[in-house]
Structure 1
């Protein structure tokens, strides 16, 4: 969870069984950074699969 948050992402759903599947959402460009970190931390034993794009509401900047 901490690594997902550090990359600016959020966990949308999790399935726990023989395998663990996390469905996450990242801001544009952050998924690639997370994938590199995941590979590094797991020595290549974990994989990330892109499931598509989705536009979600996010923080908004206030006008000055």
Structure 2
């Protein structure tokens, strides 16, 4: 998946890489996603695969 973001004004860019929230009335079912590449402005952010779920995301922050 490729997408573009443009930051305007001062602040913090926060990107959450996570799975989806999947639950029924009594149970939560973890959905695992393995992110293999995350690059911003030709800078590789993830240098190895990152397995995440909704409850355990990878959070990237940059001022």
Same fold (TM over 0.5): no
Task: With the length of structure 2 as denominator, give the TM-score of the two structures.
Answer: 0.26
In proportion to residue count, which structure has more helix?
1
Answer 1 or 2: higher relative contact order, Cα 8 Å, separation at least 6. 2
In proportion to residue count, which structure has more strand?
2
| Larger CA Rg, structure 1 vs 2 | 2
